[in-house]
Structure 1
Amino acid sequence: MTVEVSRTKRLRQQLPDAFRLPTDRDPAPEPRHLAAVCGWAALLGLGGMAVALRAFVGLVSASRGWYAPTVIVIGLVGLACTIAAFASVHQRRLPFALLGAASVSLLLGWIVTGL
């Protein structure tokens, strides 16, 4: 029980530092780092448009009760991870971990819309 409390307390302290708007005192992110995040996010956006088109066709052509909520949740998770990557661009590895999670979400969306 004590381990969970300390882990929760530590997480509450670290999250606001990881996801915050930069201030004037923060250094600008390295241009290569920012370009890598932007490029990866752009590829996710293009892939997301393809998945959205497939999802639209799936919604129009078939009536499956689970399809719409599943596609919407997968898309929102991917979008939230991509937004969080930009919010944490001043961190070193966190944006790439979040973009990796968004990529997994995109892959899941591709699989689900292909069914």
Structure 2
Amino acid sequence: DGKRQAQEPKQETPRLHGITEPNSPTKANTEYPNTPEKQDLDLKSHLMDFKKDVKNSLRETQENINKQVEAYREESQKSLKQFQENTNNQLKELKMEIENIYSQRTWKKTKQNKTKK
């Protein structure tokens, strides 16, 4: 594009903790000069985009967490139901066993009483 000027060479700009990052100035455009106001608008635009990206990322993370929680809830409900069914079956078996023992004792007592007479 004939209206755009050549990009300036990248320079290393020192950052916090000794980290360096290339300085990449925006390309100058004769229609839209690179003024402090334009830079402020660009920064605000980038900040808004970043804010939107973070918000979307947080929403996706929350949706994933909700799906995982629901899956764990369903799994735990299923496990609880199976545990309750197993417990109920064991109780039924124990009741039957107790009734059998009681019936046998009653039958033996009845038989003993008949033999004593």
Which structure is richer in relative contact order (CA contacts within 8 A, separation 6 or more)?
Answer: 1
TM-score between the two structures when normalised by the length of structure 1: 0.30
TM-score between the two structures when normalised by the length of structure 2: 0.30
Give the greater-gyration-radius structure (CA): 2
* Richer in strand (by share): 2
* Richer in helix (by share): 1
